[in-house]
Structure 1
């Protein structure tokens, strides 16, 4: 089911309400465990400024690919909210939809107080999400699943409308005079990634090619992009869908002796440096820290106050925001802290 896009005013109001509610308590730090597929728990020690509400347990299940630093920022935001809200956070991840479903089932079996999920593979998650709801566990979605969270009966959605973001990138390429772009998808069938490139193609007036690569194998990714650029010298822009892949594309452009420029979705501190030195034209920031923070804080607000952002009808949008030469210096300090 595809949701009707909310008005710009309603999007801003929804996000403003969520951020204001989340900021009502003093933010406190939280020590982070290691990443990877195995579930990890946040620190349980006493934290200054922590909520005095009863202790909650929240499970966060994502489709993170090992080595993608984007998810470190998501997790950092989630841990900050957990620290503030007196929440025990159990974080786990796997790129396989089937394994994600198993991780959600594990959370149900542990009788957690809330679950935050990414719906990158919505069909794989549908049945287990229904089981969570039947068990009386509130579930929110974030990052992926803007077109599916409502039909699956989830409480809230925090993230970016990927089609809207893709169209915005396409229009920006038009203003830059680009004629032929290749949009690089690092995981075939992942709904958010497919929507991004579909949006680029819709918003861009020139020619758009779609190139599938293996995001878990950076040397292979780089060589595949290199081969594509050597095959077609008319390509003047490479659009990638994640910061690590953008940096690989920069190397591919050099190896192919191509004149193509590189733009990307998503941001990290290394990508910020690449925008600063001009090797990346621009990035689309969906604010992953905010997504992780609001997903956890939203469950606390629902459990303790009965609040839920968007009224069950509207997603809370955290992007897109463009980062380029004009504003990168402002963003750089926050990126260094791991919050942008």
Structure 2
């Protein structure tokens, strides 16, 4: 929701109203705004006399067969009443409020089947019970967004200042991760200590697309490797071989090739994970040389661990070896 809201804020800053935007989810899980076919400028919104109004039927219509216009479940009332109504960025706020409600409550707020009579009835008779499944701290802000009066709706950025977002430690953590490369090592260290107790609260998609990438990028920082590696490897345990090979292994390869001391010990201890998920080429090119370096180290802990992992590597290489 934050990503969509930020996009809406950009539209607001540029003086355009979406009037029925499409939300696209990229392969890395980011939410983007698209479908600007209905977008109008603030200047155009001031005079709608020459613009064609949306028309909605007074009976149920499936989304797939309605004319090229926004779904009524997410359309602001000023876009439904008549073409002479005022239209602006506040219309997008209403639509975003409907989307936010749907995401949190897991059901549409208006649910009118593109029937304009049902839409107006549901909108005019919204009860407090309709918000019973919404977190209490978010209800006042969401109700303002869904107000029939455009003037009462907040700005896009005003919504994210809600205590629901401001006091959410997980959201603050994700925001820190987004800008992690800009922080100094002391700030990163303090954050990672807190994250080590918090990251289990994230669902698998958030871990994969929002937590893992910045952690992998930070593996280039040798000082932070001992703190970051355990988290990266723990998240990697839940990845299948394909996902591991695409998203995690490329960031691990430079570390496998250069690790020493405590970082090398950590990698050797978790070598089973890498051995079971990496291809034969990676095992020969990167994991095997790492184990050889561990044999050359004088640390008895490394000597003990590498003896255990060598057997696992040999078995895996035998399994992956082509039959002649």
Q: For this structure pair, what is the TM-score category when the shorter chain's length is used for normalisation?
A: under 0.3
Q: Which structure dedicates a bigger proportion of its chain to helix? A: 2
Q: Which structure dedicates a bigger proportion of its chain to strand? A: 1
Please identify the structure whose Cα radius of gyration is greater. 2
Task: Give TM-score, length-normalised by structure 1.
Answer: 0.22
Structure with larger RCO (C-alpha < 8 A, sep 6+) = 1
Task: Give TM-score, length-normalised by structure 2.
Answer: 0.22
